[in-house]
Amino acid sequence: MKQWASLAGAALFAPYASAQFTMLRFACSQLVVERTDPLVNPGVLYTPHLHQIVGGNAFNASMDLETYDLPGRSTCTSCSFAEDFSNYWTAVMFFHHRNGSYIRVPQVGNGGPQGRLINDGGLDVYYIPNGRVTAFKKGFRMLAGNAANTDPSRVQGSYICHRCWPSTSDNPFPGGAPCTGSDTVEIPRDPGCKMIRQTIYFPVCWDGVNLDSPDHQSHVAYSSGNPGGGGGNCPSSHPVKLPQLMYELMWDVSKFADRNMWPTDGSPPFVYSMNIGGAAAHGDYVFGWKGDTLQRAMDNRCNLNNDCPAAGIHFQQPAVYNSCKKPQQAVEQVDGWLASMPLGEPAIKA
Ligand SMILES: *[C@@H]1O[C@H](CO)[C@@H](O)[C@H](O)[C@H]1NC(C)=O
Ligand SMILES: *[C@@H]1O[C@H](CO)[C@@H](O)[C@H](O)[C@H]1NC(C)=O
């Protein structure tokens, strides 16, 4: 067991190149940016803060997540694999100009040292198996992080973190596994950062019974092991080992490097859409792979964003997944310079 753990660790630092160490890793482009959240605020338009949502276009402000048939109702997905109609969402990042205006920070793809994934906004998704794993079941959903938290010491920095990226590409690659080394819970405030990479690892252990829980978290737990290697042993309360789900977001802050634009009162130049920094970073997940394709992809060690006939999963060209878009249900301006952040206005129960 010990040997396996160190093997997984070693594979991680030879970043993702080892033939034995396989994972799904793929781009998901923007589906819609809007104030909805069917997991935490079902049926509400103009939720307290703004989200970016990617995945299947059946996404809706109100959907009964237990029974809503994402693969059956979606006609396209903004993710690379044609069989993945899951929905993935996170907060968005804003730059706060010293003149009081806000603008949404643009996003690009990454995908680690093997080259940049082509995304139109959005994020990259990883499913990392360590040994045999049980894929999520239909109706499964969960939340990582806490959108109201202002205390960085309450965040486990080995699961949710930020890295200052000194260039606007993968070259040079500022090495090491996510959430190690000098990565921080807070959003870096360094004009030398051209991009900021945000990583969100989800819990990898499941109670094996509940598809959700009242806080959307207690049916799952983190493992004892390195999440970058797919996690380690699960606690007896949550014995079922899931694929290690990870979101990777690349915030392109290169246009905001001039400190003369930064707030003069010492408040942070970059904040998430809750108007809180890295302590409130969070991600939401609703499983929606077609049939048993994700289980087969894990069992057959499908790799990266490649076609994988053994699992029946197919890579779509960027032009295809980039064209899957959805109009806002909570209609408002979210791009360009804004006099205030779209935030906290009275929600309308739809
Ligand atoms: C989508 O959400 C809207 C707003 O909550 C609701 O009126 C509509 O019935 C939902 N559509 C489906 C297919 O559930
Ligand atoms: C703040 O600065 C930006 C960038 O120069 C500008 O577009 C925006 O209109 C300014 N906002 C205000 C309130 O002056």
The token duo for 164 is 């200052």
Tell me how far the alpha carbon of residue 62 lies from the centroid of ligand 1, in angstroms: 5
In the reported structure, the alpha carbon of residue 93 is separated from the centroid of ligand 2 by a whole-number distance in angstroms of 18
In a domain, 57, yes or no: yes
pLDDT category at 215 given cuts 50, 70, 90 is very high
| DSSP structural state of residue 299 | H
Are β-strands 205-206 and 123-128 bridged in parallel, bridged antiparallel, or unpaired?
Answer: unpaired
Q: Taking a C-beta distance cutoff of 8 angstroms, is the pair 248, 242 a contact?
A: no
Residue 337's pLDDT band, with cuts at 50, 70 and 90, is very high
> How far apart are the two ends of the chain, measured CA to CA in Å?
51
Q: Whose CA is nearest to atom 11 of ligand 2?
A: 101
Residue 267 burial (CB count, 10 A):
12
Mean pLDDT calculated for residue range 257-283: 97
pLDDT at 350: 40
Average pLDDT of the chain?
Answer: 92
Task: Tell me what pLDDT residue 114 has.
Answer: 66
Is ligand 2 within 6 A of the CB of residue 337? yes
Does the Cβ of 75 fall within 6 Å of ligand 2? no
Residue 106 lies inside a defined structural domain of this protein: yes
pLDDT at 172 (0 to 100)? 82
**Residue 98, ligand 2, Cβ within 6 A:** no
Q: In this predicted model, which residue has the larger pLDDT, 176 or 200?
A: 200
Question: 229, 12 in Cβ contact below 8 A?
Answer: yes
Q: What is the pLDDT of residue 175?
A: 80
Ligand 1 mutation target, pool 32, 36, 60, most atoms within 8 A of CB: 60
Number of separate domains in the chain = 1
Residue 62 Cβ contacting ligand 1 at under 6 Å: yes
**Statement: residue 89 has pLDDT above 90:** yes
Check pocket membership of 42 for ligand 1, CB cut-off 6 A.
no
Q: Is residue 32 part of a domain?
A: yes
Residue 6 has pLDDT above 70, yes or no: no
In the predicted model, what is the mean pLDDT of residues 119-135? 97
Distance of alpha carbon 38 from alpha carbon 31, whole angstroms: 15
For the segment 87-111, the average pLDDT, to the nearest whole number, is 97
Contact 98, 332 (CB under 8 A): no
Residue 7 has pLDDT above 50, yes or no: no
| Residue 7 falls inside a structural domain | no
Q: Is the dihedral of CA 180, 96, 78, 212 positive or negative?
A: positive
The mean pLDDT of 222-228, rounded to a whole number, is 95
Ligand 1 binding pocket includes 70 (Cβ within 6 Å): no
Strand segments (E) across the chain: 24-28, 32-34, 44-45, 51-55, 87-91, 93-96, 102-104, 107-108, 123-128, 141-145, 160-165, 195-201, 205-206, 220-221, 240-241, 244-252, 270-272, 282-286, 348-349
Residue 256 pLDDT class (50, 70, 90 cuts): very high
Q: What six digits make up the tokens of 116?
A: 């940049």
CB 128 within 8 A of CB 247: no
Q: Taking 60 as the threshold, does the pLDDT of residue 99 lie above it?
A: yes
pLDDT of 4 reads 35
* Residue 270 alpha carbon to ligand 1 centre in Å: 33
Q: For residue 54, how far is its CA from the centre of ligand 2 (angstroms)?
A: 30
Range 230-249 average pLDDT:
97
The H-or-E segment that residue 70 falls in is helix 70-73
Which residue has the least CA distance to atom 7 on ligand 2?
337
Q: Is the beta carbon of 100 within 6 A of some atom in ligand 2?
A: yes
Average pLDDT rounded to a whole number, residues 140-165: 95
Instruction: Tell me what the mean pLDDT of segment 157-171 comes to.
Output: 92
Q: Does the residue 20 lie in any domain? A: no
Write down the pLDDT at residue 345: 60
Question: Do residues 59 and 87 lie in contact, with contact meaning Cβ atoms separated by under 8 Å?
Answer: yes
Confidence of residue 160 (pLDDT cuts 50, 70, 90): very high
Ligand 2 and 260: CB distance under 6 A? no
pLDDT in tens, 48-84: 999 999 999 999 999 999 999 999 999 999 999 999 9
What is the extent of the structural domain holding 339?
26-349
pLDDT tens-digit map of 192-212: 999 999 999 999 999 999 999
Q: How much is the pLDDT for 5?
A: 36
Q: How far apart are CA 92 and CA 44, in angstroms?
A: 18
Locus of tokens 């970073």: 281
Please check whether residue 132 is in contact with residue 283, taking contact to mean a CB–CB distance below 8 angstroms. no
Provide DSSP, 11-25.
HHHTTTT-SS---EE
Residue 87 resides in a domain = yes
Output the residue whose Cα is nearest ligand 2's atom 6.
337
Q: Measured from the CA of 101, which atom of ligand 2 is nearest?
A: 11
Residue 37 — very low, low, confident or very high, per pLDDT cuts 50/70/90? Answer: very high
| 43 Cα nearest atom in ligand 1 | 5
Beta bridge partners of 2: none
Ligand 1 centroid–CA 214 distance in Å is 22
pLDDT of residue 3: 34
SS3 50: coil
Q: Where are the beta strands (DSSP E) in 151-257?
A: 160-165, 195-201, 205-206, 220-221, 240-241, 244-252
CA 143–ligand 1 middle distance (angstroms): 22
For the ranges 18-22, 217-221, 274-278, 313-317, the lowest mean pLDDT is seen at: 18-22
Q: Are the C-beta atoms of residues 163 and 216 closer than 8 Å to each other?
A: no
Using the atom order of ligand 1, give the atom closest to the CA of residue 68: 14
